[in-house]
């Protein structure tokens, strides 16, 4: 009898320890470092953010995606983010990109509203299921002779689970009828689009497009929906009809400067004036044209143009010839001058592509045109058929030594410029065009 009672007590204490461990875990999780930082500092006192580099890259990819989806550049060979270059003050194209972004946000917002509705519908069955399991467990424990303390602990545990579910669903968004939430969000989105259309809001550059999209996305964020619900409830309880004067205004503040007709940051009859207090150092004038460029810009340019690591930060033949190869590749792009120097617009275009994988690609043409297995395989097929010598019979990466030597043989066969010895084993547009001739 004593042994049996001791065994039951050990089981009860084991259950209690498990219960307390779970409770402590939930308590600790609710006080994570991220929450503490936001509680103490808000978004932070520093203007720069730690994740700014990552955010910039994701932002670039997203706008390239919108550019492709809007039909401004063609998709090719499965590339998810085709390069997109839009002039800073091209209102027509930036408007198209913005509206494509609105469509993308609509898709994501609709999925969120559907999730909210499903969450609300799952509350009742979930609470009922916990109650049923609790009742069954207590019944089984009673039949098997569990002590009063064990029954009490089990009852408290199941009650806590039920209360936790209730508390989770106590947020305003999950308490309000789904039809109310949907009505507020859908109407807010409709009014936002009507304002863009009827008031002919000017969207003529990327900062304005980004602001419009963030403003539209904000309409579907939880805090925004709850703020609108509270605002409408307050007005309704006082018998006041909502209007533009007494409601939260989520509309974007972009467009022409009042009374001037000039977009913000522009000057009459010209492109936006670069806002830089710095003069480009004399060494960098071999690479850049215009003021405002610094050594950090040189490095960003070199990383994007696949310049060898040993030359990063230097102005040598590898950088000069990398620019030449870039300009020759862009010969059909009337926005690129073939003068051996990089302007501010050209710099933004190049750096916007991100860093080059320099262990695999050696120039601008390779990183943008030999960037899939299919294209490299096509290159190998052309070389095998046009250039005498060792045949490559299996797929190899672009940095394969044998393939590089075959590229060198092809350049010699066609007597191509080796760009001061820099491109003797590199694929350029001219080489590929010659190999492609039937």
What is the reported pLDDT for 198?
A: 77
Q: Given a cut of 50, is residue 259 above it in pLDDT? A: no
What is the reported pLDDT for 162?
A: 55
Residue scoring higher pLDDT (196 or 139): 196
Q: Given a cut of 70, is residue 252 above it in pLDDT? A: no
What is the reported pLDDT for 418?
A: 86
What single-letter DSSP state applies at residue 387?
S
What single-letter DSSP state applies at residue 342?
B
422 CB neighbour count, 10 Å cutoff: 22
What single-letter DSSP state applies at residue 102?
H
What is the reported pLDDT for 352?
A: 83
Of 87-101, 300-314, 349-363, 397-411, the one with minimum mean pLDDT is 87-101
377 CB neighbour count, 10 Å cutoff: 14
Burial class (CB in 10 A: 0-12, 13-18, 19+), 403: buried
List the chain domain ranges: 1-34, 55-84, 86-257, 282-351, 367-435
* pLDDT tier for residue 323 given thresholds of 50, 70 and 90: very high
Of 189-203, 216-230, 231-245, the one with minimum mean pLDDT is 231-245
Residue scoring higher pLDDT (102 or 352): 102
Torsion of CA 96, 100, 106, 109, to 10 degrees: -120
Cβ-proximal residues to 155 (8 Å cutoff; 6+ apart), any chain: 134, 138
Tell me which residue of 34, 86, 78, 50 sits closest to 209, measured CA to CA.
Answer: 86
What is the reported pLDDT for 375?
A: 92
Q: Given a cut of 50, is residue 124 above it in pLDDT? A: yes
What is the reported pLDDT for 436?
A: 92
SS3 306: coil
* Cα diameter, the chain: 100
* pLDDT tier for residue 45 given thresholds of 50, 70 and 90: low
State both tokens at 357. Answer: 């994988």
Tell me which residue of 111, 94, 53 sits closest to 252, measured CA to CA.
Answer: 94
The alpha-helical segments, DSSP class H, found in 169-201 are 172-175, 178-198
Burial class (CB in 10 A: 0-12, 13-18, 19+), 407: buried
Of 42-46, 221-225, 370-374, 392-396, the one with minimum mean pLDDT is 42-46
- Average pLDDT, integer, range 187-209: 83
- Average pLDDT, integer, range 394-405: 94
Tell me which residue of 90, 100, 92 sits closest to 205, measured CA to CA.
Answer: 90
What single-letter DSSP state applies at residue 307?
-
pTM here is: 0.45
Residue scoring higher pLDDT (432 or 145): 432
Task: Identify the residue whose tokens are 């046009």.
Answer: 386
* pLDDT tier for residue 400 given thresholds of 50, 70 and 90: very high
Torsion of CA 251, 252, 256, 260, to 10 degrees: 60
Q: Given a cut of 50, is residue 276 above it in pLDDT? A: no
Q: Given a cut of 50, is residue 411 above it in pLDDT? A: yes
Task: State residue 351 phi and psi, 5-degree precision.
Answer: -65, -25
What is the reported pLDDT for 87?
A: 66
What is the reported pLDDT for 80?
A: 46
Residue scoring higher pLDDT (79 or 116): 116
What is the reported pLDDT for 190?
A: 87
Q: Given a cut of 70, is residue 137 above it in pLDDT? A: no
Mean pLDDT of the chain: 74
- Please give the share of the chain, as a percent, with pLDDT higher than 90: 25
CA atoms within 13 A on the CB side of 85: 14
User: 3-state DSSP: the chain helix, strand, coil percent, rounded to 5?
Assistant: 60, 0, 40
* pLDDT tier for residue 299 given thresholds of 50, 70 and 90: very high
């Amino acid at each position: 009898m004593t042994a049996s009672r001791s065994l039951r007590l050990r089981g009860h204490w084991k259950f209690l320890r498990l219960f307390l461990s779970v409770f402590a875990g939930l308590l600790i999780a609710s006080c994570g470092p991220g929450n503490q930082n936001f509680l103490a500092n808000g978004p932070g006192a520093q203007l720069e953010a730690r994740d700014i580099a990552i955010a910039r890259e994701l932002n670039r990819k997203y706008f390239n995606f919108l550019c492709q989806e809007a039909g401004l550049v063609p998709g090719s060979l499965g590339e998810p983010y085709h390069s997109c270059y839009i002039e800073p003050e091209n209102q027509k194209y930036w408007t198209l990109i913005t509206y494509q972004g609105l469509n993308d946000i609509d898709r994501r917002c609709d999925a969120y509203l559907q999730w909210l509705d499903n969450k609300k519908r799952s509350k009742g069955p979930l609470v009922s299921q916990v109650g049923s399991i609790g009742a069954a467990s207590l019944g089984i424990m009673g039949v098997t002779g569990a002590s009063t303390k064990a029954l009490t602990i089990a009852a408290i545990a199941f009650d806590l689970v039920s209360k936790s579910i209730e508390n989770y669903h106590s947020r305003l968004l999950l308490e309000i009828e789904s039809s109310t939430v949907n009505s507020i969000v859908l109407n807010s989105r409709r009014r936002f689009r009507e304002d863009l259309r009827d008031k002919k809001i000017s969207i003529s550059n990327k900062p304005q497009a980004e602001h419009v999209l963030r403003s539209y996305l904000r309409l579907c964020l939880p805090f925004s929906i709850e703020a609108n619900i509270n605002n409408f409830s307050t007005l309704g309880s006082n018998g006041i009809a909502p209007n533009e004067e007494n409601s939260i205004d989520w509309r974007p503040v972009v467009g022409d400067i009042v009374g001037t007709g000039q977009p913000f940051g522009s000057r009459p009859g010209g492109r936006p004036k670069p806002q830089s207090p710095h003069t480009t150092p004399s060494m960098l004038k071999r690479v850049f044209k215009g003021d405002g460029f610094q050594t950090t810009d040189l490095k960003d340019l070199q990383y994007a143009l696949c310049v060898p690591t040993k030359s990063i930060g230097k102005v040598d033949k590898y950088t000069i010839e990398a620019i030449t190869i870039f300009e020759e590749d862009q010969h059909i792009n009337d926005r690129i001058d073939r003068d051996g120097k990089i302007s501010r617009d050209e710099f933004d275009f190049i750096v916007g592509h991100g860093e080059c994988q320099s262990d695999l690609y050696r120039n601008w043409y390779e990183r943008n045109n030999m960037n899939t297995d299919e294209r490299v395989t096509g290159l190998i097929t052309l070389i095998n058929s046009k250039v005498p010598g060792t045949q490559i019979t299996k797929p190899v990466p672009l940095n394969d030594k044998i393939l590089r030597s075959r590229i060198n043989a092809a350049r010699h066969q066609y007597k191509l410029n080796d760009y001061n010895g820099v491109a003797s084993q590199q694929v350029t547009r001219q080489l590929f065009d010659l190999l492609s001739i039937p």
